[in-house]
Amino acid sequence: MQFTFTKAALPKTGAIVIPVIENGLGDGAFAALNEAASGSLARAAKAANFTGKKDQVLDVIAPQGLDNTRVLVFGVGAPKTFGLEEAEALGGAICARLLSAREKSAAIALEGFAPGGIEADVLAAHVALAAKLRAYRFDKYRTKLEADQKPQLAKIAVHTGSTKAKTLFAELDKVADGVFLTRDLVSEPPNVLYPESFAARCAELEELGVKVTVLGVKEMKKLGMGALLGVGQGSARESKLVAMEWMGGKKGQAPVAFVGKGVTFDTGGISLKPGPGMEDMKWDMGGAGAVTGAMAALAGRKAKANVVGVIGLVENMPDGNAQRPGDIVKTMSGQTVEILNTDAEGRLVLADAIWWTQETYKPKAVVDLATLTGAMVIALAHEFAGMFVNDEKLCEALLKAGEATGDKLWRMPLVKAHYEMIKSDVADMKNIGGRDGGSSSAAAFIGRFVKDGQAWAHLDIAGMAWSTKDLPTSPKGGTGYGVRLLDEWVRQNYEG
């Protein structure tokens, strides 16, 4: 979809979109168009009891006196309640309505519209960003689309008095590309996306200047990654570890690191999951998808920071060579793990991936992302990702980035008692700590592989990587959660 930013007069064809504050119909673009339409817009608003309250929409088709196909008026409510989150919700709602109306082009009248004190350029750029994010589709496997199912919307012109909106959007556009990459990866079927093919998709980032390194089973065995390899040993697909490096900051400066769980399909292994809903386990690589998308976003916008993304890629299958409950594996760190449940596999992947990341890059901070526990969904539903963190400064920075982007986080407890839950009678630890506090004991397991003094945050994104309903800036399916969060965290804390 093409986005333009202009100060020209509103077009006389196509759709026009006008956001208005509550009781604000006498101002701006609405008033001007209403006069040109001989008062027909005001009459339509009165007939529909439209006053500009939040979430009200007035759709006037083929308005009298105008050659435009329609005028869409969106109410945003009281100005003081309108912030950046509401601006993006507006952009998403506009796009969704235009798509359902099957419009081919539209103009959004933002000049003079400045509720909540948002700067005009920021408002225009984020409305456009949200519209782009909401327009995402994953249709590559649909061979027959009815005419009314094919997208029509191709151009959106944002009419604004700002001269900087285009520049701001150009950078945000690269972030949206990263979100789209993550959504694509999460949406792919598991017969198409498996460790080797996922690694190949990562290698494509070299076109953006990312250095990509792929380790196979032979290399990981030599490094002693018994935890990660144990998860994938029942699959015909070879496990991989992928490292992506973007060094856009000062030469020699330690990077920050993202580490992602990439279980491309999770049957549960010998501890087999129930059949109903197992098809959803294609997105158990959502953490690795977010890391990959974030690296694409940072490289795409040429971020002035040193960042590495590491993902452990495995397929958890239950064949005759699969890992068994009762097995004991040795991790790269030298610590041993008693396997009580083969469906608690993501933490095993992260254990070796995080240790390798610390050994290889000596990062300033490590943030891992994983669709790790169903308990996280029970606790936070699909509203927040759970954050477990050992550093207060890192905690505050991630919370701030989450608020700024809508990829929201909620801090969860991680204390000595949770580490006690994973003590084993026969090994250094066991891979599950029991039903109670399952997300915290899982985080404690990962924490056993974080070196002393290493700033670290674990983000359990189990409830956020996929949505069964449309969201303000995302159609149902893969959400791309985490890309904007990580990008904003780097932007706010590691770029000059």
Specify the CATH number for the domain of residue 83. Answer: 3.40.220.10
Query: Nearest Cα to 255, choosing from 310, 306, 314?
Result: 306
- Domain of 287, CATH number, reads 3.40.630.10
Instruction: Tell me: do 152 and 271 sit in the same domain.
Output: no
Q: Find the domain containing 308 and state its range.
A: 173-494
**Res 45: pLDDT:** 97
3-state secondary structure at position 85: helix
254 located within any domain: yes
**Res 124: pLDDT:** 97
Instruction: Tell me: do 131 and 242 sit in the same domain.
Output: no
**Res 243: pLDDT:** 99
Q: Which residues contact 160 (CB under 8 A, 6 or more apart)?
A: 5, 6, 7, 110, 111, 120, 121, 123, 124
Orientation angle between helical segments 438-447 and 346-361, nearest 10 degrees: 30
Task: Summarize the confidence of residues 166-179 as an average pLDDT.
Answer: 98
Establish whether 201 is a catalytic residue: no
167 located within any domain: no
121 located within any domain: yes
**Res 392: pLDDT:** 98
Instruction: Tell me: do 438 and 464 sit in the same domain.
Output: yes
Instruction: Tell me: do 89 and 186 sit in the same domain.
Output: no
225 located within any domain: yes
Q: Which of 347, 408, 430, 448 is catalytic?
A: 347
Instruction: Tell me: do 125 and 267 sit in the same domain.
Output: no
Distance in Å from the first CA to the final CA of the chain: 32
DSSP at 62: S
Query: Nearest Cα to 246, choosing from 197, 210, 213, 217?
Result: 210
Task: Answer yes or no: are the C-beta atoms of 392 and 455 closer than 8 Å.
Answer: no
Phi and psi, residue 210, nearest 5°: -85, 135
**Res 194: pLDDT:** 98
What is the overall mean pLDDT for the chain? 96
In which region does residue 230 sit, left (phi positive, over 0), alpha (psi from -120 to 50) or beta (all else)? alpha
Task: Summarize the confidence of residues 423-440 as an average pLDDT.
Answer: 97
**Res 496: pLDDT:** 74
**Res 151: pLDDT:** 82
CB count in 10 Å sphere of residue 326: 11
Q: Is the pLDDT of residue 10 over 90?
A: yes
pLDDT band at 465 (very low <50, low <70, confident <90, very high): very high
What's the domain count of the chain?
A: 2
Q: Which residues contact 279 (CB under 8 A, 6 or more apart)?
A: none
Tokens standing for residue 373: 């526990």
DSSP at 133: H
Tokens standing for residue 110: 């933002």
pLDDT tens readout for residues 34-45: 999 999 999 999
The span from the CA of 473 to the CA of 96, in Å, is 9
Instruction: Tell me: do 43 and 127 sit in the same domain.
Output: yes
Establish whether 364 is a catalytic residue: no
In this structure, of 10-24, 134-148, 165-179, 326-340, the range with the lowest mean pLDDT score is 134-148
Instruction: Tell me: do 340 and 389 sit in the same domain.
Output: yes
Q: Which of 43, 155, 201, 273 is catalytic?
A: 273
Q: Which residues contact 389 (CB under 8 A, 6 or more apart)?
A: 395, 398, 411, 414, 456, 457, 458
pLDDT band at 374 (very low <50, low <70, confident <90, very high): very high
Phi and psi, residue 379, nearest 5°: -75, -45
367 located within any domain: yes
Tokens standing for residue 8: 């020209």
**Res 447: pLDDT:** 98
Instruction: Tell me: do 152 and 266 sit in the same domain.
Output: no
137 located within any domain: yes
Helices (H), 135-242: 165-187, 195-203, 217-223, 226-232
Distances (CA, A) of 22 to 78, 79, 81, 246: 6, 8, 11, 46
| Residues 391, 458, 213: CA angle, nearest 5 degrees | 110
Q: Which of 161, 184, 200 is the last residue of a domain?
A: 161
pLDDT band at 231 (very low <50, low <70, confident <90, very high): very high
**Res 139: pLDDT:** 92
The span from the CA of 315 to the CA of 335, in Å, is 23
**Res 423: pLDDT:** 98
Long-range contacts (CB closer than 8 Å, 24 or more residues apart) made by 34-40: 36/65, 36/66, 37/63, 37/64, 37/65, 37/66, 37/71, 38/64, 38/65, 40/64, 40/65
The span from the CA of 452 to the CA of 51, in Å, is 58
Q: Is the pLDDT of residue 148 over 80?
A: no
Q: Is the pLDDT of residue 147 over 80?
A: no
Task: Summarize the confidence of residues 225-232 as an average pLDDT.
Answer: 98
Q: Which residues contact 311 (CB under 8 A, 6 or more apart)?
A: 198, 202, 241, 242, 244, 259, 260, 261, 262, 287, 288, 291, 292, 353
pLDDT tens readout for residues 388-402: 999 999 999 999 999
Pairing between strand 455-460 and 409-411?
unpaired
**Res 145: pLDDT:** 79
Instruction: Tell me: do 148 and 234 sit in the same domain.
Output: no
The residue type of 172 is: L
The span from the CA of 95 to the CA of 132, in Å, is 8
Phi and psi, residue 389, nearest 5°: -145, 150
Percent of the chain whose predicted confidence (pLDDT) is above 70: 100
**Res 86: pLDDT:** 96
Instruction: Tell me: do 303 and 375 sit in the same domain.
Output: yes
168 located within any domain: no
The span from the CA of 447 to the CA of 118, in Å, is 40
**Res 163: pLDDT:** 87
**Res 25: pLDDT:** 93
- Sheet containing strand 328-330, edge to edge, reads 328-330, 336-338, 429-430
DSSP at 471: B
Q: Which of 161, 194, 225 is the last residue of a domain?
A: 161
Name 106's bridge partners.
15, 156
Element (H, E) at 476: none
**Res 12: pLDDT:** 92
Q: Which of 139, 161, 183 is the last residue of a domain?
A: 161
**Res 150: pLDDT:** 79
The span from the CA of 322 to the CA of 318, in Å, is 5
Percent of the chain whose predicted confidence (pLDDT) is above 90: 95
Instruction: Tell me: do 304 and 228 sit in the same domain.
Output: yes
Tokens standing for residue 186: 């999460």
166 located within any domain: no
Instruction: Tell me: do 274 and 383 sit in the same domain.
Output: yes
pLDDT tens readout for residues 88-134: 999 999 999 999 999 999 999 999 898 988 999 999 999 999 999 99
Q: Is the pLDDT of residue 380 over 90?
A: yes
